[in-house]
Amino acid sequence: MHITPLHPTFVGEVSDLDIAVPLSSDQAATIEAGMDQYAVLVFRDQPLTDEQQCSYSRNFGELEATLIGQMSKPGERRLGPVEIGDISNLDPSGRLRARDNNRRMYALGNRLWHSDASFRATGAGYSLLSARVVPAYGGNTEFADMRAAYDALDEKTKTEVEDLTTEHSIAFSRGQLGFDNYGEGNADMIRPVHHRLVRTHPVTGRKSLYLSAHIGTIVGWPVPEARAFIRDLTEHATQPQFTHAHQWRVNDLVMWDNRTTMHRARRYRDLQDVRDLRRTSIKGTEPAAMAAE
Amino acid sequence: MSIAISERTQGFVGEVSGIDITQPLTRAQAAELEAGMDRYAVLIYHDQHFTDDQQKAFSLNFGPLEQTAGGNVTKAADRRLDPDMADVSNLGADHKPLGRDDRRRLFNLGNQLWHSDSSFRAIPAKYSLLSGRIVVDAEGNTEFADMRAAYDALDDKTKAEIETLVCEHSLLYSRGTLGFSDLSDEEKRMFKPVRQRLVRTHPATGRKSLYLSSHIGTIIGWPMPEARAFIRDLTEHAVQPRFTYSHKWRQYDLVMWDNRSTMHRVRRFDETQVRDMRRTTVAGDTVTVEQLAA
């Protein structure tokens, strides 16, 4: 197994490994060490079934259910288990979603820079995204290195952000785009949670900015002041020197560490071209943050 | 002495010297400055010790003034300046910095979002002229983005896609982005959305530009989330460093910009310090698109 760096501060491409078959514990440990170093790993030419993707993902912890899966009724889902995130533009019958389809509106939130499941009390660890069908052009996924972004802050800002606690909810990111239709009985799912703005990676000890479009305010701050500041920090953290664009090929698998990165999807012709990606996520194991109370 | 304009940022920002703009201008001088605005879109003048009346008189060289009413949540009785002057300070009527939770302050934080002045009015502004009476010693820069260059740099597919799009603009949208929703029914009526073309053509130069602004809430005929995601992408394109200029203020700078071809925003600063900036606005003379009947 080899890892080739694709960016000066993060992202490596793994070669000479077949992840569709069971891994030895040494191999899994090597990948995990690579994740600690690179935060994003790219695997090319890995045709996977959903079951193989789940098996591979379990090398790194317990699978997490997707929020939209939990909020959906059974008939609204295209894929089976709620651990398989449906990152596609297809409806349950496998046809392209209509322009005003509610799931399409919800999924547009993925075009905002975010860290997966930061709206949960314990945010996600890794996410793993497998490309089954990719569009002719557009639809890149971009990643931002939140360790390098933290390191590049001036000392005054580091001091200012050190002890801040932010409030995250899926309702904040979707609210930015004017979406608020979550369906009945889902009020609990959108209740805000608290996280530290600066977090420390449990293995490497490196600090990073824990930013996400799901942030709605900073605890103790007036909301508009908090949002303006979070926007400034996000703009800082997503400058070209901290980001990498992944251009998808069929059978790519990309895995990233949500504790140290943000990501977003870019626009594509989603009313014409199929884009079928499937995501698994690993539950976080430690509180991303102590709540303010 | 004759007017000289030196180029600060290629084809976008010019620095004017050789003229005292606190004194009455000849028609030829005013025409020369207006031609400079058409060429650059942002002009900087240093060491111009304006009174409010002098600033208004200079501004009137370029057209009638736009009234400030309808553009903020400060009540008439609480105003520090007269109605022709937009108060872009962090001060209350007592000339002291507003408290952290003061709703006027929270409303004004919307100026940290990229915008074009008065794009929320059916007839939006032509020029804005901002005079730095008391400036802060660090931060608080005003940044400008050249929306002509940003338009020119779009690929042909995107140019074709946006050519005839119409957006809805309102202060409700820009303030909603920052979670400011503490508005009276009267304010909500005052901030009723208006329509603007997304691509506009400058009346003097004929150049096209992207008419973007944080006041945009949707594109007519589009689902709102799709519209907002697309507007965010266009804005991100338009404010790349190669299209922007950051102005660090010196006391008695006057900066004037053409809202028809630029966006701007203020950057964060220490709001316990006094920052007293005063804006006059030259009214536009035409809609960019037909409005809906009231």
pLDDT (tens digit per residue) in B137-184: 999 999 999 999 999 999 999 999 999 999 999 999 999 999 998 899
Domain encompassing residue B34: 4-281
User: Residue A293 — very low, low, confident or very high, per pLDDT cuts 50/70/90?
Assistant: very low
Average pLDDT over residues B113-119: 98
List pLDDT tens digits, range A99-111.
999 999 999 999 9
Asked if A228 and B178 come within 8 Å (Cβ–Cβ), the reply is yes
**With 70 as the cut, is the pLDDT of residue A233 above it?**
yes
Q: What pLDDT is recorded for position A292?
A: 36
* Mean of pLDDT values over B251-257: 98
User: Residues of B with CB below 8 A from A178's CB?
Assistant: 217-218, 224-225, 228
State the smallest CA–CA distance between residue B223 and chain A in angstroms: 6
Which CATH fold would you assign to the domain A2-281?
Answer: Double-stranded beta-helix (3.60.130)
For A140-153, the pLDDT digits (tens) are 999 999 999 999 99
B219 contact residues in A (CB cutoff 8 A): none
φ/ψ of B278, rounded to 5, equals -125, 130
Q: In this predicted structure, what is the pLDDT of residue B294?
A: 52
Would the CB atoms of A100 and B109 count as touching at under 8 Å? no
Q: Is the dihedral of CA B49, B50, B54, B55 positive or negative?
A: positive
- Closest-CA residue of chain A to B230: A267
Nearest to A174 by CA among B223, B183, B30: B223
CA-based nearest residue in chain A for residue B111: A228
List of chain A residues whose C-beta atoms are within 8 Å of the C-beta of residue B223: 99-100, 104-105
Q: How far is CA B135 from the centre of its chain?
A: 18
Distance to chain B for A228, nearest Cα, Å: 7
Per-residue pLDDT tens digits for A56-91: 999 999 999 888 888 888 788 898 888 999 999 999
- Look at residue B291 and tell me if it is in a domain: no
Q: Is the pLDDT of residue B29 over 90?
A: yes
Q: Is A223 within 8 Å of B178 when comparing Cβ atoms?
A: yes
- Which residue of A100, A111, A225 is in closest CB contact with B106? A225
Residue A163 per-residue DSSP state: T
Q: What is the pLDDT of residue A290?
A: 46
B288 part of a folded domain: no
How do the domains of chain A map onto residue ranges?
2-281
Position B265 in a domain: yes
Beta-carbon pairs below 8 A across chains A and B: 70
Summarised one tens digit per residue, pLDDT across range B117-144 is 999 999 999 999 999 999 999 999 999 9
Q: What is the pLDDT of residue A53?
A: 97
How close, in Å, is residue B211 to chain A by CA atoms? 19
> What sign for the dihedral angle of Cα A177, A178, A183, A186?
positive
CATH number (domain holding residue B62): 3.60.130.10
- Give me the pLDDT at residue A230, please: 98
**Assigned domain for B171 exists:** yes
User: In this predicted complex, what is the ipTM?
Assistant: 0.96
Q: Are B131 and B56 in contact (CB under 8 A)?
A: no
Report CA-CA distances (Å) from A89 to A48, A54, A128, B172: 19, 21, 18, 31
How many domains are contained in chain B? Answer: 1
* Span A207-225, pLDDT tens digits: 999 999 999 999 999 999 9
**Nearest residue, CB atoms, B224 vs list A178, A225, A228:** A178
